[in-house]
Amino acid sequence: MEIHLDNVTKVYRRGAKALDGVTLDIQSGVFGLLGPNGAGKSTMMKMIATLVVPTSGHISVDNYTLPAQQNEVRRMLGYLPQEYGLFNNLTAYELMDYIALMKGIGNDKQRRDDINRLLDWVGLNDVIHHRVGSFSGGMKQRLAIAQALLGSPRLLILDEPTAGLDPEERLRFRNLINRISVDRIVILSTHIVSDVAAGCQRLVVLNHGRIMLEGELDALKRCA
């Protein structure tokens, strides 16, 4: 699987140039997007997630062109937005079931199997029927990842997924990501360098909407 950005610029109507002529190829594996607040990370992720349209430039995901073929791209997409709100009154299972229904996933049995497998996999099997409101920050984040994984998307976009996690939860999250990155693209953004250093095969550093640094992790470590 491959994503191409070709000279992509986004100027929001209220003036900010959030991305400025970004050209980039992304292949299977974990791809890290690093940069300070306001660098353009969310904007780039929303564009690939078909939620923001470039002002100029071209984006393709496999052989699909955005925005013309956005429905095809949406079908292969799992997206965890930065400002993700969970419904505190639902149980973990109810929330997953609701999202699976919205995604149009299979019949009752298939949904039930998928939900149980994913909750088990993120380590929430003991609290399936507990209310989300009683979860810690780390548990909520793992639940958010499980919901992004419903339907086995080949492209997973996670915007600041480790925000609010403690060091132990961060480690657990990294292990999770390493296991799911086989045969798919996982794009994750962060402003915490150690997250990227440990988990990503490739990374890009954005600042003021431009690529400052790009490459394999090992090569970047050698220049640091």
Q: What does DSSP say about strands 185-190 and 155-158: parallel, antiparallel, or unpaired?
A: parallel
CA separation (Å) from 29 to 32, 36, 66, 77, 180? 10, 23, 21, 15, 9
Beta bridge partners of 214: 204
Piece of the chain touching ligand ADP by CB under 6 A; list 8-16, 64-72, 135-143, 144-152? 8-16
Query: How far is residue 36's CA from residue 189's CA, in Å, rounded to a whole number?
Result: 10
Query: How far is residue 157's CA from residue 57's CA, in Å, rounded to a whole number?
Result: 21
Piece of the chain touching ligand ADP by CB under 6 A; list 1-9, 10-18, 68-76, 148-156? 10-18
Using rule CB under 6 A, residue 16 touches ligand ADP: yes
- Min CB(206)–ligand ADP separation in Å: 6
- Min CB(18)–ligand ADP separation in Å: 3
Binding mask 17-36 for ligand ADP (x = CB under 6 A): -x----------------x-
Q: Which is nearer to ligand ADP, 6 or 20 (CB)?
A: 20
Residue appearing with tokens 């080949």:
154
Give the list of residues 6+ apart from residue 151 with CB closer than 8 angstroms, or none: 78, 100, 103, 105, 114
The residue from 24, 42, 144, 220 that contacts ligand ADP (CB under 6 A) is 42
CA separation (Å) from 19 to 42, 177, 201? 10, 27, 23
Amino acid 174 reads R
Q: Which is nearer to ligand ADP, 14 or 179 (CB)?
A: 14
- Min CB(155)–ligand ADP separation in Å: 18
The residue from 40, 151, 153, 161 that contacts ligand ADP (CB under 6 A) is 40
Which residues of this chain interact with ligand ADP, rule CB under 6 A?
12-14, 16, 18, 35, 37-43
